[in-house]
Structure 1
Amino acid sequence: MRSSPQDIDQRVASPTPSLLIPRPEQGEWPGLADPPDSPLRAKVAEVLFRSAVRSLPLRVEFPDGTVLGAGDVTDPLMRLVRPRAFFHRLGADAKIGFGEAYLVGDWTSKRPADLLTVFAQRLTRLIPRRLQHLRRFVERAHPIEERNTLRGARQNIHRHYDLSNELFEIFLDETTTYSSALFDDSAADPTAPSAAADPMSGLRAAQLRKIDAILDRAGVGPDTTLLEIGTGWGALAVRAAQRGAEVTSLTLSAEQQRAAQTRIAGAGVADRVRVLLQDYREADGGFDAVVSVEMIEAVGERYWPDYFRAVDRLLRPGGRFGLQSILMPHDRMLAARNSYGWVHKYVFPGGLIPSMQAIEENLRSHTSLRIREALFFGADYAETLHRWRERFLARWSEVAELGFDPTFRRMWEFYLAYSEAGFRSGHLDVAQFTIVKPE
């Protein structure tokens, strides 16, 4: 997703012809610049969109000055720059087209997270109920090549986590932790002066609080043999080793393995940690504890039984499993599991966010493991994502120096805003689970 500086298309059907709309480079974003041609679907999409936004607390502004929506000047504004292209994308594939339209500038907003939160809060009501059964005729299925087989999982992880270690270092805190932080009450307040002045203020402490919480759930202490499924950039492995644990950490990302090993050596705990480029299904041995932070979302529903069976097999009797997972309501998970969306295409191929019911059913059906307790903190994830997005945009010039183009900027901004909206609306949650294996 890197390219040389891209061309600029100034041919915009808008009252402001000088407005510069980025045109994605064909070599990096094949087919993205040109909207699909689907007149009938575009007309249906326009009718449904206009009907849906009329009662929402937002404003949608068309190039001719027409404004739809029930919002006032305090509510988020969505500017339709190229309505025709927007509705053709929406009609061809609503779940992918809406985000793609943002990537190419067909619509824009100065408050994308606020805008997307309004849509997310009414997600199940945007399409009339009598028409919802038609979704199966227009929604795309997941590509077979993105299934998380041993080979497919490596490729899917490579597409996201091997983008660039330097990219993630730019917008994450010093621990390079890419999962929800756990704030205390004051640090989680977005109106607090420290958060407003510096998006990173308190984030490192909140990430270490999260790491300590999951290690506590797994009972990690001196001489614990610990398996970590999903290394990240090594912060958890370092923290566990500093407690006196012997750590084996698994990753499928060569970039992350390299960075984690550097961090571990710098912390002086290389003698207590080994980082393996290995799939969880290939792991062997016995461990007192297992931890896995926001890795299950990349496993895929088909392989959840394999994932939990592997934990059960590797965990010694009486051991504990600390699991941190993003969650969605079970009915929404069932509706989404066979549908290929924007996040799959551009960010996380092959994944599915589980529901708590799905986790419980997989544990009960395939393992001896049982959930003992859980901590839910979805609001903290919304705050974490907000800070990441602020940091990413503030330091965009550094990202661009790595070779990422303006289309990538809009893609990453939309991804972070879209995710934040999911947690702010309650459509998504995140939890830490204490899971135990019987003696």
Structure 2
Amino acid sequence: MTTSPTRQADTALTGRAWHWPGLHEPRHSAARAAAARLVFQHAVRTLPVRVALPGGERLGAGGPDSPVMRIVRPGAFFRRLGADAKIGFGEAYMAGDWTSNDPAALLTPFAARMADLVPRPLQVLRRWVDARQPAHERNTVEGARANIHRHYDLSNDLFAAFLDESMTYSSAWFAPGSDDLHTAQLRKIDGVLDLADVRAGTHLLEIGTGWGALAIRAARRGARVTTLTISAEQKHLAEQRIARAGLADRVQVLLRDYREAHGSYDAVVSVEMIEAVGADYWPTYFQTLDRVLKPGGRVGLQAIAMPHDRLLATRRSYTWIHKYIFPGGQLLSVPAIQDTVRRHTALAITEQRSLGPDYARTLHHWRTRFLDNWPQIAATGFDDTFRRLWEFYLSYCEAGFRSGYLDVLQLGMAKHR
């Protein structure tokens, strides 16, 4: 199953007719399904979870208080795992083959043991059984626009339903004793701007506009901002929000790829955009920061990171996240960032902070808001399969940060004079 979901009336905000090619007809291979069942049983035998199958069969090492996974349709579930475990596990949730009353808590032990869920002797088979990323999802200038369109142009109303009022779609940074998402998002933005030393009179380039929150915050400091996006939906709403804030004279929003950036800037910031760049283009991305930054200028970067050994093991794999959420996406590792910056730029990393636990809290807020506001989201035309897709996506990511498998970093960089 390599096709992605499609819609009729793609740009309409109402009346969507969703199609999920192949989702409700998992490919059948009795041998692979049987093998997948054995691998799954091996993986959960020591995990602190409870897996319930029809007929009373129980798997896992969890106690009464452990999270529960209920496999509703084991035949379809194991056929999906046998066809492609990296995609089939999430598709099984989308299709209702398994369920959980707290999928983030359930997935956290899986994420913590990600490296050894599959027995090591079987891991050498990855190159033959893992799907590869499609060539058309490479992040060329044209490919990147198509990839971004599939996620960020879904609907501004969808994102407004679960984000805070700043419309910030990246990890917040919570102050001690506070659980207010909006305050934490502004604190995160200020942290990035401080790393780039953005102040009154700064000419700032932002790579990845989002819906304009950072540009507005920087302009209120007295900076002049040029911000780049390749999402038409985001550009439209960002410009409206900037105008309502009375800052249209200080912020210019351009529909432009980062590789097409030109000019000379005192500072550059980019918040969780590099994950959409792709490994083939990491040198180009950092070279662009270097090229447009004045000598003595500073960079504020926020990036999601994974363990370096897992990056090396999985960087060519095609996963559920690629197929349904972020086509062309690729997380970095700290060594990958350090090596690319050192080899391809005159930049030096000067500061670093970790916000991994904050991202877990951020995602929990988003998932709660998404489910609480599902009726209004559904009213715009999204179907129940989409709801399960996004619930799994937000839970899957939350589990990654809760377990420590994933981290998110704020990095400060300086360009030598």
Q: Counterpart in 1 of 2:85?
A: 94
Q: Counterpart in 1 of 2:11?
A: none
Choose the corresponding residue for 2:47, options 28, 52, 56: 56
Name the CA shift for 1:137/1:219 in 2 (closer, same or farther; >3 Å): same
Matches within 5 A, 1:255-270: 255-270=233-248
Please state if 1:153 is matched with 2:144. yes
Please state if 1:115 is matched with 2:106. yes
How much does 1:26 deviate?
9.5
Inter-partner Cα distance in structure 2 for 1:81 and 1:409: 18
Please state if 1:239 is matched with 2:217. yes
Q: Counterpart in 1 of 2:374?
A: 396
Please state if 1:364 is matched with 2:342. yes
1:177 touches 1:233 (CA, 8 Å); kept in 2?
yes
1:2 touches 1:405 (CA, 8 Å); kept in 2?
no
Inter-partner Cα distance in structure 2 for 1:337 and 1:203: 32
How much does 1:132 deviate?
1.0
How much does 1:145 deviate?
0.1
Inter-partner Cα distance in structure 1 for 2:400 and 2:241: 32
Inter-partner Cα distance in structure 2 for 1:142 and 1:125: 23
Choose the corresponding residue for 2:184, options 206, 216, 238: 206
Name the CA shift for 1:381/1:27 in 2 (closer, same or farther; >3 Å): closer
Please state if 1:82 is matched with 2:47. no
Inter-partner Cα distance in structure 2 for 1:424 and 1:298: 22
Please state if 1:181 is matched with 2:155. no
Q: Counterpart in 2 of 1:281?
A: 259
Name the CA shift for 1:26/1:392 in 2 (closer, same or farther; >3 Å): closer
User: AA paired with 1:251?
Assistant: T
SS of match in other structure, 1:264: helix
- How far does the alpha carbon of each residue in 1:267-297 deviate from its partner, in whole angstroms, 9 at most, with x for none? 0010000000000111110000000000000
- How far does the alpha carbon of each residue in 1:168-187 deviate from its partner, in whole angstroms, 9 at most, with x for none? 00000000000000001212
2:232 touches 2:255 (CA, 8 Å); kept in 1?
yes
Q: TM-score, normalization: structure 1?
A: 0.91
Matches within 5 A, 1:276-315: 276-315=254-293
Q: Counterpart in 2 of 1:332?
A: 310
Inter-partner Cα distance in structure 2 for 1:259 and 1:113: 31
Q: Counterpart in 2 of 1:127?
A: 118
Inter-partner Cα distance in structure 1 for 2:18 and 2:6: 10
How much does 1:127 deviate?
1.1
Name the CA shift for 1:266/1:156 in 2 (closer, same or farther; >3 Å): same
Q: Counterpart in 1 of 2:327?
A: 349
SS of match in other structure, 1:116: helix
Please state if 1:36 is matched with 2:36. no
User: AA paired with 1:427?
Assistant: Y
Inter-partner Cα distance in structure 2 for 1:321 and 1:160: 26
Q: Which moved more, 1:117-126 or 1:292-301?
A: 117-126
Matches within 5 A, 1:311-322: 311-322=289-300
- How far does the alpha carbon of each residue in 1:27-57 deviate from its partner, in whole angstroms, 9 at most, with x for none? 6111111111111111110011112212211
Q: Counterpart in 1 of 2:358?
A: 380
Please state if 1:219 is matched with 2:210. no
2:271 touches 2:303 (CA, 8 Å); kept in 1?
yes
Q: Which runs of 5+ in 2 are unaligned?
A: 9-15
Inter-partner Cα distance in structure 2 for 1:158 and 1:142: 18
Q: Which runs of 5+ in 1 are unaligned?
A: 5-24, 189-201
SS of match in other structure, 1:171: coil
Inter-partner Cα distance in structure 2 for 1:110 and 1:73: 14
Q: Superposition RMSD on alpha carbons, in Å?
A: 1.3
Inter-partner Cα distance in structure 2 for 1:51 and 1:275: 52
How much does 1:338 deviate?
0.4
- How far does the alpha carbon of each residue in 1:287-341 deviate from its partner, in whole angstroms, 9 at most, with x for none? 0000000000000000001101111000000000100000011111111110000
- How far does the alpha carbon of each residue in 1:138-188 deviate from its partner, in whole angstroms, 9 at most, with x for none? 001100000000100000000000000000000000000000000012125
Q: Aligned residues: percent identity?
A: 62
User: AA paired with 1:319?
Assistant: G
SS of match in other structure, 1:354: coil
Inter-partner Cα distance in structure 1 for 2:46 and 2:283: 43
Please state if 1:252 is matched with 2:230. yes
SS of match in other structure, 1:271: coil
User: AA paired with 1:57?
Assistant: P
User: AA paired with 2:131?
Assistant: R
SS of match in other structure, 2:54: coil
User: AA paired with 1:331?
Assistant: D
How much does 1:102 deviate?
0.3
